[in-house]
Amino acid sequence: MSSLFYHGYSVLGRIVSDMTTEGILTQEEYLATNLHVFYGRNEDDFREPFTSGLPDIKKLGLELVSIKLTTRHYNTRTLDVIDKDLVNQIYMYTTDKLKYSQMMVAMVFPWLHHVVYGGLSNSRSEKEKEQIITQYFDRLQTYTYNHSDFIPYIFFTEVVIKRNKK
């Protein structure tokens, strides 16, 4: 199973890598358009600042209360109670590959556009930048269209920390 929200992060980078290999982007642009994030943290990684004896953590009086890692598949049935029209739209999108791929790209476009745009060289014209961005998101839509047999999911971690009174 694949998803834009986990395995998809490698897809987002692979598209930039392919565009660099094809000479569309320079090596400098490739480096500038990469997100420097790590999504593979586990409970031990979140617990580490509190178990490592960092003096700042103790000095601030911070104490780890709990950690909860959650993966949540988009279960549209839970939306039935909230908004039946929204549920019908989601079902429509997940049964029509083209609409589904358009929806997935529309979900990442707002936060990813500035990453790609910001990584492009200042020596490029605005028209050239927009052509590259259009090509990037067209490739992303093609990938999503070709891999529309998965259920998208999100993952998040809830870390509860309390501050002890001094």
Angle, CA 98 vertex, CA 92 and CA 101 arms, to 5°: 90
Every domain of the chain and the residues it spans: 13-163
Q: What is the pLDDT of residues 109-137, one digit of tens each?
A: 888 899 999 999 999 999 999 999 999 99
Sole residue written with tokens 């009086």: 61
HSE at residue 99, side-chain half, CA atoms within 13 A, is 8
**Bigger pLDDT: 120 vs 57:** 120
Q: What is the pLDDT of residues 1-12, one digit of tens each?
A: 233 444 455 778
